[in-house]
Chain A
Amino acid sequence: MKRFPGIALLLMACLTGCSSTHQALVHHRGPPQGMQVEQATVVAVRDIRLPLATVNYGQGSGRDLGQLAGGAYADMSGLPLGSGILISATAGMIGSALGSAADSTERSQPGQEIDYRTDGDSGLRRLQQPTGRRAIRSGERIRIERGSFTLRALPATP
Chain B
Amino acid sequence: MRRSLLLCSSALLSLAVQAGNGIDPARLNYRHAWSGGAPRAVSILSGQVPKNLALTGRNFSLGVDWEDAMGRPKPEFRQQICQLIPGDPCPPFRAGGIRIKEEYLGEPAGFRPAPLSSEQRIGPDALSQVGHGGRRVISLLIQDMGQVRQSLTVSFNDIGDDELRQIALEDAVYRVLRFRED
Enumerate chain A interface residues (CB-CB to B < 8 A). Answer: 21-36, 53-55, 146-150, 152
Contact = CB atoms under 8 A, between A and B. Distances in A.
B45 interface: yes
Contacts of B46: 22, 24-25
Nearest to A31: B40
Contact of B42 (A32, A35, A36, A152): A32
Q: Determine the main DSSP class of A at the interface with B.
A: loop
Q: Number of contact residues on B: which range applies?
A: 35 or more
12 contacts: A25-B45, A25-B48, A27-B42, A27-B172, A34-B132, A147-B132, A148-B108, A149-B108, A149-B113, A150-B127, A150-B128, A150-B130
Interface of B: 38-48, 108, 111, 113-119, 122-134, 137, 154, 156, 167, 171-172, 175
Contacts of A36: 132-133
Q: Determine the main DSSP class of B at the interface with A.
A: loop
B108 A55 contact: no
* Shortest 8 CB-CB contacts between residues of A and residues of B: A148-B134, A33-B131, A30-B40, A36-B132, A24-B126, A149-B127, A25-B45, A29-B41
Contacts of A24: 44-47, 117, 122-123, 125-126
A30 B42 CA distance: 8
Given A24-B117, A55-B116, A147 B40 contact: no
Given A25-B45, A25-B48, A147 B171 contact: no
A25 B126 CA distance: 9
Contact of B45 (A27, A30, A31): A27
B64 to A, nearest CB: 22
Contact of A26 (B42, B114, B118, B123): B42
Contact of A32 (B115, B122, B123, B131): B131
A28 B41 CA distance: 6
Contacts of B127: 147-150
B132 to A, nearest CB: 4
A21 B119 CA distance: 10
B45 A35 contact: no
B117 A147 contact: no
Nearest to A33: B131
Contact of B175 (A25, A35, A149): A25
Nearest to B128: A150
B74 to A, nearest CB: 21
Given A148-B154, A149-B127, A33 B118 contact: no
